[in-house]
Structure 1
Amino acid sequence: MSLTLSDILALEGLSAMRLRAGGQGLQLAVRWYYVAENETIADWIMGGELVFITGINHPRDEDNLIQLLMEGKQRGIAGMVILTGDAYIQSIPPRLIALADELGIPLIEQPYLLKMVIVTERIGTALVRSENALQSQRDILMQLLTGDYPDLQMLQQRAIHQQLDFTRPLRVAALRLEGIQNLFRQFPPEQAEAWLQQARRTLRQRLQQQLNQQGNSFPLVERGNMFIFLLPDEEDDFYQQKTWLQQWLRELAEGNEGLSLLCGLSAKVQQLQDYQRALSQARQALDLSENLRPAQRISDYQQLGFIKLLSAINDPALLSDFMHDHLGCLIERDRKSPWLLMETLETLFQENGNVVRAAERLGIHRNTLHQRIQRIEKLTGYAIGHPQFHLNASVALTIWRMSQNHLREHL
C-alpha cells in the first residue's frame, strides 16, 4: 500500500501538524513533497505531491492561497501544508478551509516552530521506505501475473516477507482507459499524448485512493494501457468490493473530466500458479466488456456463460458466418441506420419479448415497434417467439456485439 497522508500525519515527531480540512482525502497516496517558492505551482508539479506553502520567499495573501489550492486540484496534488506563525502566514483563512473541504484536498497546518528540515527528513525517509517495499510487492505480483519467475516457492517466501497474503481467494481486476484511439484521431499527437499522460496520473491517484480506503494491501500495477490490482473474494466480501468498484467507475464516467474506465474481472484464484491464467481471463472479460456491457463498466469472467466458448473459437470467420447465416438479412446497408432491426431485436430479447418496455427503451411508439417486428419475421422467416430462432438469434446477436468490424462500422 502506498504511503498516504494519514500515514504521514502519524509519523513520529510530526504530531504538531494538524488537519484543518479535506479529511475525505486522507487516503490519497503521496508521491513526493514539494516546497512552493514561486507565485504559482501549476508548472512545477505533476500530481501526487504534498505541497508546502511557507510564505517566506513570496507573500501569500488569501487570494494567492486559494489560487494555489485550485491549481493543486487541477494538477492532482495529494494535499497542502500551510506553515503558520507570526512572521509570514499568521493563520489559515476560513475561505481556504471551506474550499479545501469542497475540493476534498487535505489542508494541514504546520507551526513554524516545527522545523521544516525535520518534517521533510521524516517524510522523505518514509516515502523512500514505502516506495522500496511497494516496488518489491509490484515485482512479486507482476511475476505471478506473467508467469515469469524462476522458482515459485522462493516467490511465495518473498510474498510472505512483503506481507502479501495470497492464501485467501482473490480476483484479478484489469482496467483500461476508454477512447484513446479517438483521442489521437481528433487532436495533434503532442496534445493527445499530454492529455493521456495527465489522465493516467489522475486515474492512478484516484484508484489508489479507493484501494486505500477499502484497506486493500495489494499493489496497483500497470502493464501497457491497463491498471491491474487484486480484489479479495471471501464470502460477501467480493460482492461489496465489486459494488464499490462498479459505483466508482460509473461516477468517473459521468464526471466532466472525460475520464472513463472499463473493467474485466477474472475467476477466483486460490493457487499462485494460476495468476497468469487469471490475468488472461480478466483481459478477456475486459475486451468483452467494451463490446457487450459498456454501460455496466464491469464484465465478470465467471458470469460470461456461453460467451467464453465463443471467445475461445480461434477462427473469426466461423463466428461471422454464423451471425450472417441467421441475422445477416436484418442488416440493411443501404439505409441510414443499417443496424436498426438488429438493435430492435436485441432490445426485444433483453426485455423478454415485452413490447411495451421494448418500445419505451427504444423511444418509439408501439405501432412502430410492431411494424419492425413484422419486417424481422418476414426477412428471417421465423416468428420472434420461435424457440429455435430465439436460441440462434441470441447467439448471433452476441457475436454481432463482439465483432470489432461491427464497432468500426457503427462508429
Structure 2
Amino acid sequence: MSLALEEILCLPGLQDMAVRAGARNLQRRVRWPYVAENEGIAEWVMGGELVFVTGINHPRGEANLLSLVEDGEAVGIAGMVILTGGTFIQGIPPAVIARAEQLGLPLIEQPYALKMVVVTHLIGTALVQMSQVRRSRNDILGQLLTGDYPSLAIARQRAAHLELALDRPRRLVALRLSAVDELFERHGPAHGERLWQSTRQALEDHLHAWCRNRPGAVMAQLPGDLLVLLLAEDGDLRMALAELHRQLLEVAGEMGLFMGLSSLAEDCAHYRQALNQARQALEVAQNLRPATGLCDFSELGVLRLLQGIVDRSLIDDFVGQTLGPLITPGRKNPYSLVHTLDALLKENGNGLKAAQRLGLHRNTINQRMQRIEQLSGQSLDDPLFRMNASVAMLIWRMTETQGKE
C-alpha cells in the first residue's frame, strides 16, 4: 500500500504544499504519514514514511532540521514536510534546503494554514483507496495471466471498470531477482530476509515509477517472486528494456536480475499464453546470462537447446572459434566484419541488400566478404558455415558488449 510523492502532491486540497528540494526523487513511494514529535527520527521510522515536522513539541532550529534531513535520508524515508509560517518554524533555512537537495531527499513546505488533520486525512484516505484499487487490479490481472477466471466477458468488464486498457496488443515481460540463495548464505536468515524484502520493495517502487512514465505500461504482482510488465509494442522497446535492466541492477545490489519477453499478445484472452512464453524466455536468460539481461521468446529456438549445455565454456569456445577471427581489436571499427556477416546472414547472403542495410557501397561489401572468407577459412556459400555463424551471432548479440560501425 503506497503512493508516489508526486501522486500525493496532486491530491485535491494539497495544492498549497510546495517542493523545496529533492524534486528528482518525487517517484519515491509513501507508505504512511508520520508526525515527528521527538528530537530525532532515526529510531522511530522504518523507511518509506512521509515525515511531518511541526516544531510544536520540540524546538526546530537549523541544526536540528539538518540532523533530521541527514537521519531521514539515511533510514530511507520517502520525504519530509516542514510546516512553516506559524509560531514555531517561520521558514526553512537555506542550508537545510541545500543539504536536502544535495542528498536528493524530497523536502516539502506546508503552510500552517493548511491543517495537519486535513493533510493526513487526505493522504491516509488516498493510501487506503489506492490499496483497494491495486488489490483489485492485481486480482484481475492475476486471473487473466493464469487463465483462472470464471468468464472472460466479466474479466473484460472488471478491467474496463478499473481503467485497465487490456484489449490492445501487448508484450509481456517476466522479471525475477537472481542469486537469492547466495544472499542468504552470505548474510544468514535474519539479515538476508531484511535485505531481500527491502530490495524487492525498492524494485517494485522503481518499476511502478517506470510504468507511470511509459504510456500504456502496466505492472502486475503475482504470488511468489515473479513480477510481470504488460507493455505496448513500439520500435524502442528492446532499447528501453535494456536501459531498464541497467537501472534495476543498481537497485538489486548484491543480486542480479533477468527478464523474459513474450511475443505479441493481441488482447487479454492471450495473456496466459504470453506469460508462459515470457517465463520460458526468462529461464533461458537466467541460464545464458545475456548482457542486456533480456531474452526474447522469438529467439528461443536454438537457445532452448543451448541452455541444456551445462559447461558454458563450450558455448563460449564455439562463438570464439566462429566469430573470433573476424574481430580486430585495436582498430577503429573492430567489429565491422562481424556486423557485415550479420547483415549478410539476415539478407540470405545477398551482398547488395546487405550493403543497403549497412549503408555501404557494394564494392566495400564485396571486399569485406572476401576478408571474412580469408580470416574464417570458410565459404559464405557453405550452408553449414552460415548455420554455425547464425547461431554464433545470436549468442554474441546476447552476451557481448558490441561495437558500432
Do they fold alike, i.e. is TM over 0.5?
yes
Alignment: residue pair count? 352
SS at match of 2:173: strand
What residue in structure 1 maps to residue 57 of structure 2? 57
Structure 1 residues 297 and 108 mapped into 2: Cα distance closer, same or farther (>3 Å)?
same
What residue in structure 1 maps to residue 273 of structure 2? 277
Q: CA RMSD in A?
A: 3.5
2:283 paired residue among 272, 284, 287 = 287
1:362-389 Cα distance to aligned partner (Å, 9 max, x none)? xxxxxxxxxxxxxxxxxxxxx9748547
What residue in structure 2 maps to residue 347 of structure 1? 320
What residue in structure 2 maps to residue 214 of structure 1? 214
What residue in structure 1 maps to residue 155 of structure 2? 155
Q: Distance in 2 between matches of 1:302 and 1:112?
A: 58
Alignment pair present for 1:264 and 2:255: no
Question: How far 1:117 sits from its partner (Å)?
Answer: 0.4
SS at match of 1:114: coil
Q: 2:169 is aligned with what amino acid?
A: P
SS at match of 1:192: helix
Q: 2:243 is aligned with what amino acid?
A: Q
**Contact 1:36 1:52 survives alignment (8 Å):** yes
Q: Distance in 1 between matches of 2:175 and 2:293?
A: 10
Which structure has more relative contact order (CA 8 Å, sep 6+)? It is: 1
* Structure 2 unaligned blocks of 5 or more: 333-375, 396-405
* Structure 1 unaligned blocks of 5 or more: 324-330, 332-337, 361-382, 400-411
Question: How far 1:246 sits from its partner (Å)?
Answer: 1.9
Q: 1:290 is aligned with what amino acid?
A: Q
Structure 1 residues 9 and 303 mapped into 2: Cα distance closer, same or farther (>3 Å)?
same
**Contact 1:40 1:68 survives alignment (8 Å):** yes
What residue in structure 1 maps to residue 114 of structure 2? 114
TM-score by length of 1: 0.74
Q: 1:346 is aligned with what amino acid?
A: V
Question: How far 1:223 sits from its partner (Å)?
Answer: 3.3
What residue in structure 2 maps to residue 356 of structure 1? 328
Q: 2:284 is aligned with what amino acid?
A: L
The 5-angstrom pairing of residues 366-385 of structure 1 reads 385=378
Q: Distance in 2 between matches of 1:278 and 1:211?
A: 19
1:327-381 Cα distance to aligned partner (Å, 9 max, x none)? xxxx8xxxxxx94x76344234355x31534999xxxxxxxxxxxxxxxxxxxxx
Question: How far 1:40 sits from its partner (Å)?
Answer: 3.5
SS at match of 1:304: helix
Question: How far 1:8 sits from its partner (Å)?
Answer: 2.0
Question: How far 1:38 sits from its partner (Å)?
Answer: 3.0
Q: 2:182 is aligned with what amino acid?
A: N
SS at match of 1:194: helix
Deviation larger for 120-129 or 87-96: 87-96
**Contact 2:18 2:108 survives alignment (8 Å):** yes
**Contact 1:166 1:270 survives alignment (8 Å):** no
Q: 2:107 is aligned with what amino acid?
A: L
SS at match of 2:100: helix
**Contact 1:348 1:355 survives alignment (8 Å):** no
**Contact 1:84 1:112 survives alignment (8 Å):** yes
Structure 1 residues 301 and 256 mapped into 2: Cα distance closer, same or farther (>3 Å)?
closer
What residue in structure 1 maps to residue 403 of structure 2? none
Q: Distance in 2 between matches of 1:194 and 1:31?
A: 17
Question: How far 1:2 sits from its partner (Å)?
Answer: 6.5
Q: Percent of aligned positions with the same letter in both sequences?
A: 44
What residue in structure 1 maps to residue 141 of structure 2? 141
Alignment pair present for 1:6 and 2:2: no
Q: Distance in 1 between matches of 2:169 and 2:43?
A: 44
TM-score by length of 2: 0.75
| Stretches (4+) displaced over 6 A | 392-399
1:108-164 Cα distance to aligned partner (Å, 9 max, x none)? 100122110011111111222222112111111011111111111111110111111
